[in-house]
Structure 1
C-alpha cells in the first residue's frame, strides 16, 4: 500500500497585523499624530516620580528624580524629530517632522533571511522553539516587531541598510521617554540607547564592562547630576530597556566577537531582574558572531509591502503640508494630491517600486518627488540624482555660511573628491564605512594634492569643517569617526570612482572587481560600477567587456562570478550592455544552473535570473509518454498496473504557462470551472458544506474573487520559469479544462487533466519501483528540498523547473522530487475531504520527496509550496 501521511489539525495562521497594536485595554494607532508640544521639564519630573515610585534606589531621592528628568528630557529632545540630515528640500525650508507622526510599524520574520537560514522547526538562537511560540508567531510569517519584543527578554533585529533598525530603537526610546510605554505594551521601562561601535572603540584601549561604559557614556547629559548611577539603579531594578544599535558597525571581526561576548554576559545577568534588550545589526557579517542565550530571539525585518508604503506616503504628505501650511483644509487637500501622485509614481514604475521597499529609500524617493525630480527606474540613476541633489543642498549651505561660490563648491569637483574617498573607505573598511578623523584628513590631503589644490592641508581641514557643520552625504557619525549618511551611497560613489578609474578602459576595473568576487561587501559596488559604465557614462561596450570578463575568468568561488554577471546584466538591461553580452551571460547561467558541483543557492539564483532575463526552456510545453505497465507502488512495493499509455508534463506548470490562462480570462470564464470551483471563484462557496476542516484556513486567507495566483506579488515565487504556487485544487482543475480546449492534437478518448495518484507515482518511480526518480538514496544535487542546501537549511524558495538534470526520471520527467507538492485528481480519503498531493517540496525534508510518499491537502489550500502538473490521459469514466 502507498505510504501516506495522516491528516492532522492545522495550526491556525495569524491574520495580517492591524494598524493598531493592542496592549491590554490600551490601543494606539502607531504612526498617527502625537501631541504638538515636547515634554516640558515639569512633565519629566512627573515621569521620573512615576518611574521610581515603587522602587527603593540607593541614590538620594531628589538627585535621582532630577537625573531621571534630565535624562528623559535629553532622549526626547534628541529623538523627537526624524533625522533628515543631508536630505534638505529645494525650497531651503528645514524639515522638522516628528518621528511619531511618520513612524510606520515594522514587521519581521523569526528567522534569518534567504541564504542564511536554518530549519524552521529546529531552533532559534540555539534553543528549541516552544509550541506556544510556534502558535503565536507561525514561523516564516511576518509579525509586528513590537509583538516579538513584548514576548521575549531580548530581540536581535536584523535588516538590510535602511530597513529601519535604528529608527525602531529611537521610536522605542522616544515612546518610553514620553511615558507612553503602556501604549506599546512595554510598561514603564527606562530606555538606554547606545551605539555598539562606541563601546567597541572603548574596549580597544581599556578593559571596561558594558555596565560601566553605559554610565560613562551618558555622564555628561545632566551636568553634575548622577545620570550614570541612575541608569545603574534602573538596571538593578529590572526596569531598563537596553537598545544596542549597530553590531555590524564594529569592523574588526575579533573585536566584534569580544563585543558580542560582553553583550551576552550583560544580557544573561540583567535579564533575570526583568530588563529587556534590543540589539540591531545588518545581516552581512552577523552569522559569524551570532549570540546565543536563553530567551534571546533573532528576527529579520521584512520589506515594506503595499499597505506599509501607502501608510508611509499618507503620513509623509500629511506631515509635510501641515508643517508648510498648518492644519488647514488647503493643507489637507494638497496632502491628498501629493499622496496620489507619489503613490502613482511608485506603483506604475517597477524600478521605483523596488526602491520603495525600505524606509530609507522610500524617504529618499519622497524627498526627490517633492523637489520635482522624475523618479527613474534604475538604482544607479536614482543614486546619481540623489547624490547630485544632496551635493547641491550641501554646497548651497556652505555658500550661505560665507563660503564664496566657485570651484571649491562645484558639484562635479566635489564628486571627484567624494568618489575616490568612498572607494578608499570601502577598501579599508568594507561593509562598515567608518574611518577615523586623522585617516580621513590624510586621505583628503592626498586627494586635494592630486587635484592640484594649492593648499591641500587647508582644503582638507575646511572640508572636514564643512562636513561637521553642513552634514550631507558625508557626516561625522561619532567622536572622531566619519562615514556616509548610508552605506548605499558609499557603495555608489565607490562605483563611480572605479568607473572613472577606467576612463573607458575596462582592464583596471576588471582587475579590482575580480579580486573581490564572492565578498558580500563588494557585491553592490560591482553591480553599480557596471551600471554606471553602461547607463550613466553610456559605455555599453565597456560595461559588456567587464561582464564577459567575469564570466570568462570566473574569479571567486565556483558560480559566483557568473551569477554576479547575470545580476549586472539584469540591472543594466536594456541599453547598459549589448544583446550579444546578454546572450553570452545567459548561456553561462544555463551551465551554472545545471552544474551539480556548484553551490545550490547559486544554482537557484541563476534560474531566477534566467527567468527574469527572458530565457525559457525550449521544451517547456512538452509531454513525456509513459507506456502501460506494472510498477511497484508504495513503501511495500506492491505490484500495481497502469493499463494504458498516457502523457505527463515534462515539468510542473510554471508561472509563464499559467499566465496564458490568466491573460485569456480563465478566471472569468465559467465553462472552465466545475460547479464547486465556480462557487469558490465567485465567493459563494461555503467551506462547511464540503470541506469543514478548511474553516480555520479560510478565516485567515482571502479566497473569494481572486483573479491571479495568491503569490504573484512575490518577485521570486512569481518568476516565469518556476512552478506556479498559491493555486488551490479548483484553479488547477480550471487550468486543465482551459488547456484541453487549446491543444487540438489530443488522442481520441483522452483529455487533459490532473494526474491520478497511480499515474503520478508510475511516472516518478518507473517499473523498478525506485526510491527517488533517479534511483536509490537521496542526492542533494538532484532536487530542491530542505536537505538540498550544503548547510541543510533549504534554498529559500522554488527553483527553475530545469535546474536538476540529475533528478530526471527514466521517462524524462523533471522535478518529480522536491520543489513543489503537486495536486492530483485522486481523493486521499473515503469521505472525499482531502486530495492526494505528491513529490515533496522546497520546505520539506528528503523523506517527503520519495516517489512512494503520499501526502494530502484540502482542495482549498494554496500554499507557497503547492503546485501541479498535467497529463494527457483517458477520460474519467
Structure 2
C-alpha cells in the first residue's frame, strides 16, 4: 500500500486532492514518512474538554435515548477518579471506559477490578466464540508482560520494566511459557505463530513497526504482569520476596499495586491488612529518606484498603507517623504529595474542628501587637490576633456544611445570603473533584461570602489585609514568609510542578519564621476582609487576595503582593484562612 501511495501521490495532489493517512503510533517508520513526504501530526492526549466532548458524542451515537444522562454520569465519575487520569486521556481506553460505564452506570472503584474487566472486554470482542482461547491468550499476554518486566527469557536481570522489547524476545518468552524446546523447528514455529497471532488479533499487544512489540498502554502490561505473578508463583513467602526486591524500584510501583489488589481478592481482607502492616513496619525513617519508593507503595496499599471501607485499626496511626515524617524530611515533592494525600484520606492528626478550644491551641497562632512591615513602610497592629496555622481545609469546611452552614442565614452577611439564595448555592464547585477535595487540602472554589460565612460559624472572621501581611512578613519585612530568598520548589508554586493544591503544611521550609504559619506563599490565594480600593466599597466591589497559588510564579507569591477579584468568584486557586474574633482572643 505504501509503495502504491508513494508512486501515485504526486499526481493525486496535483489534481487538487488531499490525503489523510491514519496509523497507530508505531505503524509508520521514519523511513516510511520520508518516502511519502507527508507532514506528521501525532494525536495529542485528550484534555478535559475533549474528554467530555468525546464521551457525549460516544453516548449520543451508542445510546441516543439515555446518551446525555450517561455522559453526565461518566464525566462526573471520572472527575472523582484520579487513578484513571492516564486512561481517560487515551481515545481507545476512554472508549473502553464508556463501554464499561454504559453497562451499569458505574466503574469498579478498585483499579485492579477495573483493569480485569477492561481486559475481559477487549479479549471478548476479539475472541467471541472461544472461552478457552481467551483464557489461553490472557495467559500468554501475562507471560509476555512479566517477561518484559524482568528480562528473564533472555537471561537479563532488568531492574526496571521495558515498555517495548524485540520481537525475538517475545518469541522466546512464549517458547519458555509453553515449555517447548526452542531448538526444535516445531517449537520455534509454534512460538512464532503465537506471537504474530497476538500482535494481529489481541488488541493489547502491538507491533511497533521497528522490530519491537509493546502493549497498547503500559498500564496493561503492569496489570497483566501482576496477574501472571499471582497465577504462577506458589512457593512460600513469594509475595514478601517480590515486594522486598521490587518495591525499591519506582517503576514497579503500579505492578505491585495491581498485585496487592489481586492477592486481596484471592486471600481476603485479613491477609491484606497483615501484608500492609508488614510493609509499613519496614519503613524506617532513615531508609525512607534514602529511598521513598517503598513508602509510596505502602501509601497505595493503604489507600486501596481505605477506599474498600476496611477498618485500618492500628495501621492508621502508624501510617500517619510515616507520612508526617516524610513531610518533615521534605523528601521528593511528588512522593511527599502522594503520602500526604493518603494521610488526608486516613485522617490527618494535625487538623481539627476550628470551634474546638482544645484544637485552637495548635491550630491558631498568636501574632503579637506591634509595628509590622506594610507595603513600602510599616504599620501598627494595635491588638494581638490569632490566625489559622493553615488555610481552612476541606475536612474543616465539611463540618461547616454538615452543621447546616448553607442552610442557616445566621452565619451569612446580608449580601452573602442574598447571593447564596439567588444562585441556590449549597456546595463549593470543586467539592466532588478528586483533584481538590481530599480532607487535608485547602478548600478552594469558595466565594468571598462563603469564606466569610465559614469564619462567622467558626467564631472568627477573615483576616484584614494588614493582619495577613503582618503575619507573613513580620517586623523584619520579609520578602517571602520563610525570611530567605526564593527557591524553586520551596512551596507549592508553578515551580513545584504539582498542578493542584497540596495537603496543607507539605512544604515545611516555607513556613513563616518565627511564627510557624504554613502555606502563606503558594497553594491557594486567600481572601482578606478588605476592599481592594478604598474608594469602591459597593456590594460587588473587588476584595483583596493574598499569598499566590499553585499555578503562579515567584513574583506573585511575595508577601507584599496584592491581588483582587470580585467577591462572587469561585475558582480552584482561591481559598482562605480564619482569624479568631476579638472576644475569643486571650
Q: So what's the TM-score if we normalise by structure 2?
A: 0.79
- Structure 1 residue aligned with 2:518: 814
- Distance in 2 between residues matched to 1:594 and 1:650, nearest whole Å: 16
Give the corresponding residue for 2:42: 279
Q: What is the distance in 2 between the residues matched to 1:705 and 1:838?
A: 28
**Counterpart check, 1:865 vs 2:573:** yes
Deviations 1:668-724 (A, max 9, x none): 4333332322332233xxxxxxxxxxxxxxxxxxxx333222333432222211211
Which residue of structure 1 aligns with residue 321 of structure 2?
A: 587
Distance 1:349 1:576, change over 3 A: farther
Match of 1:617 in 2: 350
Counterpart of 2:63 in structure 1 is: 317
Bigger helix fraction: 2
**Residues 557, 363 of structure 1: alpha-carbon distance in 2 compared, 3 angstrom cutoff:** farther
- Correspondence for 1:417 among 140, 143, 158: 140
Q: Which of the pair has more CA radius of gyration? A: 1
CA shift in 2, pair 1:774/1:425, >3 Å: closer
Alignment of 1:256-335 (within 5 A): 278-280=41-43, 301-302=47-48, 309-318=55-64
Which residue number in structure 1 is paired with residue 155 of structure 2?
A: none
Give distance in 2, aligned partners of 1:388 and 1:414. Answer: 11
Q: 2:434 aligns with which of 708, 712, 715?
A: 715
| Offset of residue 340 of structure 1 | 5.4
| Alpha-carbon contact 2:444-2:571 (below 8 Å) kept | yes
* CA gap 1:389/1:584 in 2 versus in 1, 3 angstroms: same
Tell me which of 491, 508, 512 is aligned to 2:241: 508
Contact kept in structure 2, 1:550 and 1:565, CA below 8 Å: no
Q: CA deviation at 1:449?
A: 0.7
Counterpart residue number, 2:546: 838
1:535 touches 1:576 (CA, 8 Å); kept in 2? no
Match of residue 528, structure 1, among 228, 248, 258: 258
**1:600 maps to which residue?**
333
Equivalent pair of 2:525/2:547 in contact (CA under 8 Å): yes
Of 223, 227, 241 in structure 2, the residue corresponding to residue 492 of structure 1 is 223
Paired position in structure 2 for 1:799:
502
2:114: which partner in 1? 382
Return 439-448 or 778-787, whichever deviates more.
Answer: 778-787
Paired position in structure 1 for 2:11: 64
Instruction: Spell out the pairing of 1:207-222 with structure 2 (5 A cutoff).
Output: 210-212=33-35, 214=36
In structure 2, what is the Cα distance between the partners aligned to 1:393 and 1:724? 44
- Of 374, 380, 384, 1:641 maps to 380
* 1:445-487 deviation digits (Å, cap 9, x = unpaired): 11111799x9744643553464366435445565865444443
The verdict on how the C-alpha distance between 1:190 and 1:576 changes in structure 2, with shifts beyond 3 A counting, is farther
3-state SS, counterpart of residue 564 of structure 2: strand
- Does the aligned pair in 1 maintain the 2:480–2:558 contact within 8 Å? yes
| Alpha-carbon distance in structure 2 between the residues aligned to 1:843 and 1:799 | 12
* Residue number among 418, 443, 455 corresponding to 1:736 in the alignment: 455
Matched, 1:763 2:471: yes
Cα deviation, residue 422, structure 1? 1.1
CA contact (8 A) 2:464 2:528 kept: yes
Match of 2:414 in 1: 675
Q: 2:462 aligns with which of 754, 758, 761?
A: 754
Report the Cα offset of residue 378 of structure 1: 1.0
Q: Distance in 1 between matches of 2:529 and 2:68?
A: 48
Structure 2 unaligned blocks of 5 or more: 152-157, 355-359
**C-alpha distance in structure 2 between counterparts of 1:681 and 1:413, whole Å:** 60
Comparing 724-733 with 770-779, greater Cα deviation is found at 770-779
The answer to whether the 8 A contact 1:535-1:572 is kept is no
Counterpart mapping for 1:179-218 below 5 A: 189-193=18-22, 197=26, 200=29, 210-212=33-35, 214=36
Distance 2:469 2:377 in 1: 11
Match for residue 448 of structure 1 among 178, 187, 211: 178
For residue 399 of structure 2, the aligned residue among 640, 646, 660 is 660
* Deviation, structure 1 residue 580: 4.3
Change (3 A) 1:836 1:734: same
Secondary structure of the equivalent of 2:20?
Answer: strand
**Unaligned segments of structure 1, at least 5 residues:** 1-47, 49-58, 70-178, 180-187, 203-207, 215-231, 236-241, 244-277, 283-299, 319-335, 400-408, 684-703, 741-751
Q: 1:303 and 1:582 mapped to 2: Cα distance? A: 38
Q: Give yes or no for contact 2:74–2:105 (8 Å, CA) kept in 1.
A: no
**How far is 1:315 from its partner?**
2.3
Q: Provide closer, same or farther for how the CA distance between residues 584 and 523 of structure 1 changes in structure 2, counting only shifts above 3 A.
A: same
How many residues align? The count is: 548
CA distance in 2, matches of 1:389, 1:543: 31
> What is residue 154 of structure 2 aligned with on the other side?
none
Q: Displacement, 1:343?
A: 6.7
Distance 1:370 1:460, change over 3 A: farther
Equivalent-residue separation in structure 2 for 1:798 and 1:348 (angstroms): 20
Which residue, out of 785, 806, 827, partners 2:531?
A: 827
- Give 2:300's match in structure 1, choosing from 555, 558, 567: 567
Q: Hey, what's the Cα distance between the residues in 2 that align with 1:494 and 1:778?
A: 44
Cα drift, residue 529 of structure 1 = 2.0
Separation in 1 of the partners of 2:255 and 2:543? Answer: 49
C-alpha separation in 1, matches of 2:507 and 2:72 = 41
Q: Is the 8 A contact 2:547 2:561 kept in 1?
A: yes
- Counterparts in 2 of 1:475 and 1:550: CA distance versus 1, 3 Å: farther
- CA contact 1:514–1:550 (8 Å) conserved in 2: no
Using the TM superposition, give the Cα deviation of residue 575 of structure 1 relative to its aligned residue in structure 2, in angstroms.
Answer: 7.2
Change (3 A) 1:562 1:281: farther
**What SS does structure 2 have at the residue aligned with 1:489?**
helix
Match of 1:294 in 2: none
CA distance in 1, matches of 2:452, 2:329: 35
Asked if the contact 1:510–1:549 (Cα under 8 Å) also holds between the matched residues in 2, the reply is: no
Deviations 1:633-668 (A, max 9, x none): 224342x32222322222211111122222333234
Following superposition, the deviation at residue 493 of structure 1 comes to 0.6
2:443 pairs with one of 696, 700, 724:
724
Change (3 A) 1:279 1:760: same
Residue by residue over 1:172-191, the C-alpha shift from the partner in whole angstroms, topping out at 9 and shown as x without a partner, is: xxxxxxx9xxxxxxxx7532
Taking structure 1 as reference, are residues 196 and 614 closer, same or farther at Cα in structure 2, changes over 3 Å only?
same
